[in-house]
Amino acid sequence: MNTIYETVDPADIDMTVIRKAGDIVSDGGLVAFPTETVYGLGGDALNPESSRKIYEAKGRPSDNPLIVHIAEFDSIYDIAADVPLEAKLLADKFWPGPLTMIFGRKPSVPLETTGGLDTVAVRFPSHPVAREFIKASGGFVAAPSANISGRPSPTSGRHVMEDMDGRIEMIIDSGECSIGLESTIIDLTSGVPMILRPGYVSERMLKSVLGEVAKDPAVFGTAVSGQPPRAPGMKYRHYAPRGVMTIVSGDADDVISYIRGKIDSRTGGERIGVLACSQDVPGYEGADIVVDMGRTDNEIETASRLYDALRRCDGENIDVIYSEEFDTPELGMAIMNRLIRAAGHNIIKV
């Protein structure tokens, strides 16, 4: 397939491109588009054939449900069976924005879109290009992150090209995503609202609206072993770079000297990459690549650089990656959730 590549300026949206993209989706095709979190791989959420194509293009297991993206709040009533008061409170505060809510599913949403579940995940993104694209596509766009299943999520048009060129009808490039981590997911279908995936909308922010909030123990590390996560996607290996990755945890000086030791004592042609906060970058001289993850007091900078850092290591054919910990106050939970998965839970305490 020949993939059409279009650049759209969010400050001056070219509606001819948006209309073309909308027509592709309405005809059952797939278009990758920017959001404030990561790029999405969009298809018509109400067309089961489109959802099948999404799974195929990503190489994703079809029991892993898709998020339905809307461009106005009232669309929720066409796809969600019941909309509790909590949803309205959360929407008032965080929509449009990087929050996904889970509701009971209306029959209008095919089971192909929800991975066979009787619930539906709904997100109203804030990115202006995403909003115009969703409207032009009929108002309901199913979209997972636009990466090949298992790879780091795409946060730029170039990342999408790397994974999706030749697999989908069109890519809309609007530059880098401002947040760079997928939306927070909260389940509103049973009892106390439960966070299924951490994101930019933090536990503290959710509690400020809802009071009580639970966290899925299978995702946040206190799991009784064997209990599956409630967001099916969280059980798969994810965000993985090609190199073997280790997170090194401890006091800054100890972390630097541990990783330095690995760089200095390497044998053979092993290529080493390091993910470090700006302050520590000079300490890793001799590594094949040192990715500057931003200053520790600029959390959003660290979040938005993470997936690009993993892809850059792949681009440099890095065999072994060491990462510092980025346990920052507000976004730390979301950043470390992705980093730990990328490292396949490989963490060393020094």
201 binds ligand TXA (CB under 6 A): no
Whole-angstrom Cα Rg for the chain: 20
Alpha-carbon span 273 to 191, nearest angstrom: 44
List the x/- string, 125-164, binding to Mg ion by CB under 5 A.
Answer: --------------------x-------------------
> Which DSSP string do the residues of 50-93 spell out, in sequence order?
HHHHHHHHHT--TTSPPEEE-SSGGGHHHHBS---HHHHHHHHH
φ, ψ of residue 342 to 5 degrees: the values are -60, -35
Structural element, H or E, at residue 184 = strand 184-187
Among 230, 305, 311, 338, binds ligand TXA (CB under 6 A): 230
> In the bound complex, what is the minimum distance in angstroms from residue 17's beta carbon to ligand TXA?
19
Site for Mg ion in 329-348 (CB under 5 A): none
Site for ligand TXA in 135-154 (CB under 6 A): 143-145
66 binds ligand TXA (CB under 6 A): yes
Type of residue found at 168? I
Alpha-carbon span 322 to 274, nearest angstrom: 5
End-to-end CA distance of the chain: 50
Residues 6+ apart with CB under 8 A from 83: 76, 77, 103
Helix axes 128-136, 15-26, angle to 10 degrees: 50
331 binds ligand TXA (CB under 6 A): no
Site for ligand TXA in 98-137 (CB under 6 A): 100, 102, 114, 117, 119-121, 123
Cβ atoms < 10 Å from Cβ of 330: 16
User: And the tokens for 318?
Assistant: 């890095």
155 binds ligand TXA (CB under 6 A): no
76 binds ligand TXA (CB under 6 A): no
35 binds ligand TXA (CB under 6 A): yes
List the x/- string, 166-195, binding to ligand TXA by CB under 6 A.
Answer: ----------------xx-x----------
Size of the site for ligand TXA (CB under 6 A): 28
Q: Which residue has the tokens 């959802």?
A: 51
Q: Which residue has the tokens 């067309």?
A: 47
196 binds ligand TXA (CB under 6 A): yes
> In the bound complex, what is the minimum distance in angstroms from residue 227's beta carbon to ligand TXA?
15
> In the bound complex, what is the minimum distance in angstroms from residue 233's beta carbon to Mg ion?
6
Residue 91 binds what, of ligand TXA, Mg ion, none (CB under 5 to 8 Å, by partner type)?
none
User: And the tokens for 16?
Assistant: 């001819």
> In the bound complex, what is the minimum distance in angstroms from residue 27's beta carbon to ligand TXA?
21
**Helix, strand or coil for residue 123?**
strand
Instruction: Calculate the dihedral angle through the C-alpha atoms of 254, 256, 261, 264, rounding to the nearest 10 degrees.
Output: -160
> In the bound complex, what is the minimum distance in angstroms from residue 252's beta carbon to Mg ion?
31
183 binds Mg ion (CB under 5 A): no
CB of 121 or CB of 276, closer to ligand TXA: 121
CB of 117 or CB of 244, closer to ligand TXA: 117
Note the residues at the interface with ligand TXA (CB under 6 A): 35, 37-38, 40, 64-67, 100, 102, 114, 117, 119-121, 123, 143-145, 182-183, 185, 196, 230-234
